[in-house]
Every structure is written in C-alpha cells, then in structure tokens.
Structure 1
Amino acid sequence: MSIVELYPKEWQEKWEEKKFKDPSIIQTSLYPLITEGESVLGISPTGSGKTLAFILPLLQRVIKGEGNQVLVILPSQELASQVAEVTREWAKPLDLNVQIVLGGANVKRQLDRLKKRPEIIIGTPGRVLELIKVKKIKSHLIQTLVLDEVDDLVADTDFNATKGIIKSVMADTQIVAVSATGERILPELDTLFRQEPTVIDVTNEDTSKGLITHGFIITPNRKRTEVLRRLAHVEGFKGLVFFNQLGELGTVSDRLEFLGIDHQTLASDQHQVERKRAIHDFENGHTPLLLTTDLGARGLDFSNLEYVVQYDLARDTSGYIHRAGRVGRMGKPGTVISLINDTDRRFINKEYKELDVVGVELFASHGKLLEEKPDVIEEEKEEIKEVFVPKVKKAMQKPARKSNTEPPKKIKKKNRVKKQKNKGAKWKS
C-alpha cells in the first residue's frame, strides 16, 4: 500500500493536482518512523523530496490549538522561506498555523505572531536560539525538532547555535535530521541526538535523480568572464554560477555589467531584500545567470534549473556533490559545467573518478552549447563583433555640429613675438 493512501483526503487531491507520481524512497522510508515518534537521520540525494518526507508525517501528528509543537531549523534565510512556503501549503487544509522566524527580520513583528501560538515554527539557528533564551519560544513544549540540511548546520558558523537549541529541548523530544551526505553527520550523532537514532540511508537505492551531464570548458582564468557571456547567449540558458570567494564574484559581476550581460548576485553579505529580489528574478526566468557562493545557495531549490556552472572548482568532492545537486531534481535532466585551465584537469578528473561519472568537453559558441569544437576563426569573429567593435565605434564617434550651416570654429593663434618665447627660462638660467 502506498503511503499516499494514508494521507488526508485533501492531501490526496493536492497530490494528484500537482501531478506527483509515486512517493520517493526517502518519503516512503521515513513516513512510518516519524509518525511513530522515532528519532531518525534520513540521508538521500538532493532533489529526492526530503522536505515532504518529514513535513507530511509531522503535520499529521500535530494537534490544532495546542501551541508550539514542531520546530524546524535551517541554515539559511532563503531555505527557511522555501520550506515555510511548502509547509504552509500542506498545513492549510488542516487549518494549522506556521510561523517563520529569521535573523535580520523585524523581531517585534515575529514576537507578535508568536503570541498566536503557532503549531509549527520554522527558522534559522541564531534567531531561534535568541527567542528561546528570552522564553518567547517555549522549547520545553516542542515535541519534534527538525534539523534540515543538517550537514550545513554542523558547520562552524551554525554549530554552536544548533547545539544550544538541541540542549534547550526535553530529553525525550523527537529529533529528525535530514541530509544529502552522511560523511559530516555520522561522526556528530552523539552531539545531535540524545538517544541513538534510526539511520536511513537510501543514497544507493534512490532513482529519483534525473540524467546529469558532467562537462567542462577549458579556458584561461582571464577569459572565464567571456565564457559566461557566451553561456548567457545560449538559448534558454538558466545557470547557477558558483564562486569560492565573494571578492571574485563581485569583480566578475562588474565585468558582466560592463559587457551588458543581464545577471543577478546572491551573496551572504547582501541585504535580505536584495537576496529575495535576486532569487525571484532568477526563478522566474528574468535573468540567465545567478552568481553565488556555496554559502549563498545553501539548499536552495530552483524549479526547471538545467545548468550549474563552476566558475571556481569546488574545494572537495562533497562540495561538488552539493553544487551538482541543484540540477537533476525529481527526475529532471541537468548539466554541470566546470570552467577549468590545464592545471585543473587532473583535479576535476579525480572528482569524476570518485563520483564514477564521465566528463565531457563542452564549447559555448554561436548561442549554442556544443560537444564539438567550433571553427576558431568564426569564434574570433564573433568575439570581436559582439564585444570590441561596438566599444571602438562608440569611442571614435565625434560630437555632431549643431547645424549643417554652422562653419567650423577657427583656432585662434597666440600673437606672441618669437623673442619673448621662454623669456622667463632665459632669465632663470
């Protein structure tokens, strides 16, 4: 029997309305454990439906009007907003209240909404811990604590706040953690769980991943911005571009702006309003490129995203998996493009070998992404025509005369006697 048959009638109708097929392996595996109140660690590839895997069984356990019962922690504001949106969608038919608490947002407004005693609270570690300390979130009443994208929550920046939240809940509180990789999580089990959890790892059995092409474009570092320009001109291109350093991201953004290439940036030091606008424009196809870092794009899910571009190579295989996981979600195809020089080839080949994939050399030219090398001469003509010629023409343009009848101005010569020239210099010597 499918777990969908155990859902409320309103959910079954919504499931069909969204044209969802059979539940994924992680959704089927976690459902009975979570509904029975067990603490669990679920590991499955990105894009395999982990959010619904914990949200749906937990919402069925929530009792309306009984105050704070479920607390969901996420590593970034954007991811928290996305999960809150999904949760509200499925909580609405059950008439349950969902409240989001984020760092950087208006605290007073959040406090006013918490007075309504929402059943589900979703937030980022810093702000949630802050509200727990001032007793605005009654952590001792929380029945289930969810650690979403837990591999990021155990990173140095969030780990202290996450541990503080875990210590604040009761010893018998159900803890549900989900992750795309188990390498960083399994060593921290004793810290994250008060009692030994059930570990469900369906990485090898999961088949929800779409076909992903792993490709690379060989280009010198100084010409990588030019490659981004060409990719932006590929028909229907929508690419998430990853950088390792914020400084390089800003420099490339300035170059693209100079070249007239429409793009957005998503960085940790941007204001929340700017980040929200960047995500909205990229999600809705208003811009072909979104420049970001691993921190900026933590766990974000973009619909119909077909391309991930590594401007800088990920520092390790785990980072590559994280980036590649932005495409190929729920059976959709995708392509990961790495911009490399000759020195990088050994490193990228090593990652391909570890992931058991084959890397394909790609070429961006004439508005297309090709697997065969284009004619070099035509490529150079295209580059000159689209980049340099317009700027040279603009620079050579002379200001027009006010009217055709107006004669050119004569340059007045100074009426100076030749003997007087450099007279001061003569006396000085």
Structure 2
Amino acid sequence: MTPFSELNLSSNLKKQLAALNFVTPTPVQDAAIPQAMEGKDVHATAQTGTGKTLSFLIPAIERLQKTQGKHPAVLVLVPTRELALQVEKQYRDLVGRYLPKAAVVIGGASEKGQISDLRGGARVVIATPGRLEDLLERRMLKIDKIEMLILDEADRMLDMGFVPAIRRIVSKIPKERQTLCFSATVDPAVAHLLAEVLRNPVRLSFGSTQKTSSSVKLIAYEVEQSQKAALIHRVVSNEAGQSLIFVGTKRRTEDVARKLERAGVSVAVMHGDRSQSQRNRALESFQKGRAQVLVATDVASRGIHCDNIAQVINYDLPKMAEDFIHRAGRTGRAGATGIAASFYTPIERREIARFERSLDLKIERIAIKENLVREQRGQMVDTAKLKFAGAPAPTRGKSGGRRNMPAGVYLEGESLQKYAAR
C-alpha cells in the first residue's frame, strides 16, 4: 500500500499525519481516499476498527483547503453523541490550527456553545440528526451550501429510526454535492436509502461485515445469574489491560459498576440516563487509562475508540446478532488482539447457538461449575483477618458492649463469616 507520505495530499496534512504516527493506510483507507479525492461518491462497508473515519476526513480536509468561505461546506451525520465527539477529535488532530474548528451539533450539550461555533465560521458540521433538525427548524443553521455529505454508521442510524430525519435533511442540501457513506453492515433498507442519496457510487467492501475480526478470541461462560457478579470480578481481575463491559439495562449498569468499585476496581459508567458531561468524563477517564473498566449499555457499542481495550465482556447477551458484532468490534482493533467474552445462563444456551449459526462463528464455551460467590466470600474473610490482625482491644461501655470499634473489627468465627457475606 502507498504510504500517506506518497499520496497527493497537502503538506499540512502530511505533517499532521506523520505527527499522529499514521504511516500506512488501512485497506479501506487505501481504496476509499483516492476515489473520494477524485470527487466520486463512495459507499464503503467494512468491519469496525478498520479506519473508516480517516477515510472520509482526509478527503474532506483536502476539499476545505481548496475552497474559501465562512459557511459550512462539509456535513457529517452520525448516530450518537459519542461518535460525533470522536469524529470531531480526529478532525481536530488532523487539521491542527490551519483550519477552523468543527461545530459539533448534538443533544445533551450546551446549545449556546454549538451556535457560537457555527457563527464563528465552522466549515465542518458534525451532527446527530435530531439536534441538527431542531436547529434547522429554528433557522439557527443553514446547510444550503454543503459541498460534501458524509453518512457515518448509516446502518446504525437506520436502526435508531433516523431515516425520515436524514431524508428531510438531505432535501435541504444542494443536489450537486459529493456524498460518502461508511457503515459496518448493509441491508435492503440501508441500500434503499443510499440509492436516494448517492450518485453512481464507487462500491467498496472489505471482509465480512457480519463477522468479528480474526484477531478477536470469542469465549462464552455458562454461569448462573446469581454468580455473574462474582465472575465479572474474576474475569476483570485476571486481565491486566482495560475491559469494556456491556450490560442490558441502565439500572444494572450502575449495579455492576458499584460492585466492581467495592472490590477496588477503578470504574467509569456510561448509559442513556447520564448527562452528556458525565458521559464525556467517563469516556475520557477510560481512554486516558484512569479507569480500568468502562461499564456501559449499547450506547458504547459504536463510536468509542480506545486502543487499549484488551477485552469486551457481554455481562448480558445482546438482543441482535449485529450488536454482538459491534460490541466485539471494540477490541482487537487496528491489528491488535483482543478477547470478546459473553456470560450466558443455562436457559440462554440457544441464544449462543443462534449467534454461532447466524454469524457463522465458533465460540469457545466454558462452564463455571464452582461456587464463585462462596470463593469470593472466602477471599473477603482472609482479607478481613489480615486487615484486623493485631488491632488493640476495644474499650467497653457500662452496659458491657464494645464502643469506638470500627465496623468489621474483632469479628471471629461465625460473626466473621457473616461480615464477609454482607
């Protein structure tokens, strides 16, 4: 493949790519960038973690350097807030100071700041469809001079019901434009939408988009529901790298995180009930390595990039086979190896078999037969004995009861077992 340094790119962009240690394009980048820079519409599908973001940002940046104006010229539509922020960060890293910063238009964040960025001459708008439509209806933004439309994770936007909004947005954009579409999967509904927005596109496909990367090892633990919490602690503790845990509900996400924190694990939490600032802080903490574990609902299954995710754990199985792929795609990225582990109860054996059958996968199954809860309590007892050994004798009150005694101290035998089980 042709190195970035030998592509027909501006000196500014080459310098930034070199500073970010981007040397050799991935296959999707190698194929898509030249086609997009020729002004062609592109529809590319590839597995997660293959470098799709750079595939559309490089052509967009090159276009911006050749045109002038203070109006938005590039519109990037994405399904989630997190993905919008990821794309904006990648754009900021690539342009440095030689292009205006992008305006991020998303819900859950300060509208005042977003409008300020738009009025400040932003040439790139990165938006979720809902908030963008809101600003358009209130005439806070014009997109009648857009030169390039980019649909990122188009399949996910379809899943989330954004197709009507996308159609309305596209109707306000000039027909004479370039459109780039990138997704991990494609189905008839997606194809129908793309037929409306793309003009004679170059079709690119890389590998099976319905399979996990070959660099990801698939494991499934059969475990009773009552032992999941003990198992998650064991699996996380046995991995030196970072772990991303997917949980089915917001409430259970908080519960899993709380139990891991009590066990001394540094945890960040993401789900739909958390404010955007809380979600941003959680993601930043995980990306910068301050949190060993990120516990999240499917809000994190796409749009989260972290090079150090050693394992993904499905605490609760996903409902859709496609979600299984996207969750697993958070690890083993850009040539690295990773583990995707799933917890399933005996009554969920058919679900694991369904994933294997529909995705043509082979998942290693491990049955957990020992009592992990009892084992964990035993460890707590040992810790309690060590912690309280050699403590000074307590003083007694007039009633004969102990006073000034820290919780858990001076417990022995049955009382110590009860303490450990709490």
- Shift of residue 51 of structure 1? 0.3
Which secondary structure does the structure 2 equivalent of 1:37 belong to?
coil
- The residue number in structure 1 matching 2:28 is 26
Q: List alignment gaps of at least 5 residues for structure 2.
A: 402-422
Which secondary structure does the structure 1 equivalent of 2:346 belong to?
coil
8 Å CA contact 1:48, 1:209 repeated in 2: no
8 Å CA contact 2:16, 2:96 repeated in 1: no
Which secondary structure does the structure 2 equivalent of 1:306 belong to?
strand
- Shift of residue 162 of structure 1? 2.4
* Code of the aligned partner of 2:294: L
- The residue number in structure 1 matching 2:377 is 384
Is 1:349 the equivalent of 2:353? yes
| 1:59-78 correspondence to structure 2 within 5 Å | 59-62=61-64, 63-78=67-82
- The residue number in structure 2 matching 1:220 is 224
- Deviations for 1:364-399, whole angstroms, at most 9, x for unmatched residues? xxxxxxxxx89x59x78742332466679999x999
Which secondary structure does the structure 2 equivalent of 1:65 belong to?
coil
- Deviations for 1:40-82, whole angstroms, at most 9, x for unmatched residues? 2211110100000011011111124352100111111121111
* Code of the aligned partner of 2:205: D
* Code of the aligned partner of 1:401: T
Which secondary structure does the structure 2 equivalent of 1:23 belong to?
coil
- Deviations for 1:270-294, whole angstroms, at most 9, x for unmatched residues? 0112111211222222222211111
Distance between the aligned counterparts of 1:409 and 1:213, measured in 2? 60
Distance between the aligned counterparts of 2:251 and 2:208, measured in 1? 38
Is 1:39 the equivalent of 2:32? no
Is 1:125 the equivalent of 2:129? yes
Is 1:152 the equivalent of 2:156? yes
Distance between the aligned counterparts of 1:155 and 1:167, measured in 2? 21
* Code of the aligned partner of 1:320: F
What RMSD, in angstroms, separates the aligned Cα atoms of the two structures?
Answer: 3.3
- The residue number in structure 2 matching 1:248 is 252
Distance between the aligned counterparts of 1:209 and 1:252, measured in 2? 27
- The residue number in structure 2 matching 1:2 is 2
Percent identity reads 25
* Code of the aligned partner of 2:236: A
TM-score if structure 2 supplies the norm length?
0.83
- Shift of residue 21 of structure 1? 4.2
- Shift of residue 342 of structure 1? 2.3
If you compute each CA radius of gyration, which structure gives the higher value, 1 or 2?
A: 1
* Code of the aligned partner of 2:41: S
Moved more, 318-327 or 65-74: 65-74
8 Å CA contact 2:84, 2:127 repeated in 1: yes
**Residue among 87, 92, 99 paired with 1:83:** 87
Q: For the structure 1 residues 392 and 183, does the alpha-carbon distance in structure 2 shift closer, same or farther, using more than 3 Å as the test?
A: farther
Distance between the aligned counterparts of 2:196 and 2:140, measured in 1? 23
Moved more, 5-14 or 140-149: 5-14
Q: For the structure 1 residues 13 and 208, does the alpha-carbon distance in structure 2 shift closer, same or farther, using more than 3 Å as the test?
A: farther
Which secondary structure does the structure 1 equivalent of 2:144 belong to?
helix
- The residue number in structure 2 matching 1:111 is 115
Distance between the aligned counterparts of 1:38 and 1:53, measured in 2? 13
Distance between the aligned counterparts of 1:29 and 1:184, measured in 2? 24
- Deviations for 1:383-429, whole angstroms, at most 9, x for unmatched residues? 2332466679999x999326xxx87659xxxxxxxxxxxxxxxxxxx
Distance between the aligned counterparts of 1:94 and 1:295, measured in 2? 33
8 Å CA contact 1:208, 1:330 repeated in 2: no
* Code of the aligned partner of 2:377: I
* Code of the aligned partner of 2:156: D
- Deviations for 1:312-363, whole angstroms, at most 9, x for unmatched residues? 1121221111111111111010100011122323321332344343322458
8 Å CA contact 2:212, 2:329 repeated in 1: no
8 Å CA contact 1:308, 1:336 repeated in 2: yes
8 Å CA contact 1:24, 1:208 repeated in 2: no
- The residue number in structure 2 matching 1:424 is none
Distance between the aligned counterparts of 2:289 and 2:3, measured in 1? 35
Distance between the aligned counterparts of 2:221 and 2:47, measured in 1? 26
- The residue number in structure 2 matching 1:337 is 341
- Deviations for 1:161-200, whole angstroms, at most 9, x for unmatched residues? 3232112212223221110111265443357516453322
* Code of the aligned partner of 1:131: L
8 Å CA contact 1:74, 1:125 repeated in 2: yes
8 Å CA contact 1:210, 1:330 repeated in 2: no
Distance between the aligned counterparts of 1:235 and 1:98, measured in 2? 38
- Shift of residue 215 of structure 1? 0.6
- The residue number in structure 2 matching 1:400 is 394
Distance between the aligned counterparts of 1:190 and 1:17, measured in 2? 35
Distance between the aligned counterparts of 2:52 and 2:215, measured in 1? 19
Distance between the aligned counterparts of 1:301 and 1:173, measured in 2? 29
**Residue among 280, 288, 298 paired with 1:276:** 280
Q: For the structure 1 residues 282 and 184, does the alpha-carbon distance in structure 2 shift closer, same or farther, using more than 3 Å as the test?
A: farther
Which secondary structure does the structure 2 equivalent of 1:335 belong to?
strand
8 Å CA contact 1:163, 1:191 repeated in 2: no
Distance between the aligned counterparts of 1:96 and 1:209, measured in 2? 36
- The residue number in structure 1 matching 2:141 is 137
Which secondary structure does the structure 2 equivalent of 1:139 belong to?
coil
- Shift of residue 212 of structure 1? 1.0
* Code of the aligned partner of 2:340: V
**Residue among 282, 303, 306 paired with 1:302:** 306
Distance between the aligned counterparts of 1:394 and 1:160, measured in 2? 61
- The residue number in structure 1 matching 2:51 is 49
* Code of the aligned partner of 1:2: T
Moved more, 241-250 or 67-76: 241-250
- Deviations for 1:99-155, whole angstroms, at most 9, x for unmatched residues? 222222222222222122211111222221222223332211111111111111122
* Code of the aligned partner of 1:116: G
Query: Number of residue pairs matched?
Result: 395
Is 1:165 the equivalent of 2:165? no
Q: List alignment gaps of at least 5 residues for structure 1.
A: 364-372, 411-429
Which secondary structure does the structure 2 equivalent of 1:112 belong to?
helix
Which secondary structure does the structure 1 equivalent of 2:334 belong to?
helix
TM-score if structure 1 supplies the norm length?
0.81
